[in-house]
Amino acid sequence: MGTSQERSSAGPSLAQRAEGYGMNWDIIENGHDVLEVRDKVGQALKLAHEKSLPSVLEIRTYRYRGHSVADPDTTYRGKEEIETYKATKDPLNFFQNALVAEKVLTEEIITKIDESARAEAETSAQFAEASPYPTVDDVQKDVYWEADNPADRKSQGTLFFN
């Protein structure tokens, strides 16, 4: 967490390590461009669906906050840098601006989408707050397909929490 990739890893890419396992790999340099990310993820999914082969994707993007509460992230970047990124490269703003430029979106539509999303998030938060805590027996429910479908399980060994 506290060591740069350049100082801790040989080579320019972590994804390239997939070669050692015979896996497909790629780097998404422009990780804030949703169209580039969609294209590269689509290629990896196609390989998985059609040939049952895994892929490793290294998506180079930006963090708004430190790695943890112990990382104040004020020693290696300033607030201006973060605000500049948000204004010019934030994935949501980047794509929204592209759609406005293409005249697919208007400010009125953006306002409606934002209001709808906030209402849905608030409803979801209220539901979560009103819901009971899960039991220990529920810890794997809807997490591992094999835990929910034991009759169809084909792998050997134990699941994570067993």
Tell me the β-bridge partners of 59: 28
Q: Which percentage of the chain shows pLDDT scores above 70?
A: 96
Query: Residue 40, Cβ neighbours under 10 Å: how many?
Result: 20
Task: Assess whether pLDDT exceeds 60 at residue 162.
Answer: no
DSSP codes joined into one string, 36-92: HHHHHHHHHHHHHHHH---EEEEE----SS-SSTT----SS--HHHHHHHHHHT-HH
Q: What is the mean pLDDT of residues 154-162?
A: 69
Q: What angle do CA 112, 118, 124 make, to 5 degrees?
A: 135
Q: What is the pLDDT of residues 101-143, one digit of tens each?
A: 999 999 999 999 999 999 999 999 999 999 999 898 887 788 8
Q: What is the pLDDT of residue 153?
A: 83
| Range in 40-54, 62-76, 95-109 the model is least confident about | 62-76
pLDDT attached to residue 159: 64
DSSP helix/strand/coil, 23: coil
So where are the chain's domains? Answer: 13-62, 87-131
Query: Are the beta carbons of 76 and 70 closer than 8 angstroms?
Result: no
pLDDT at residue 131 in the model: 95
What was the pLDDT predicted at 160? 62
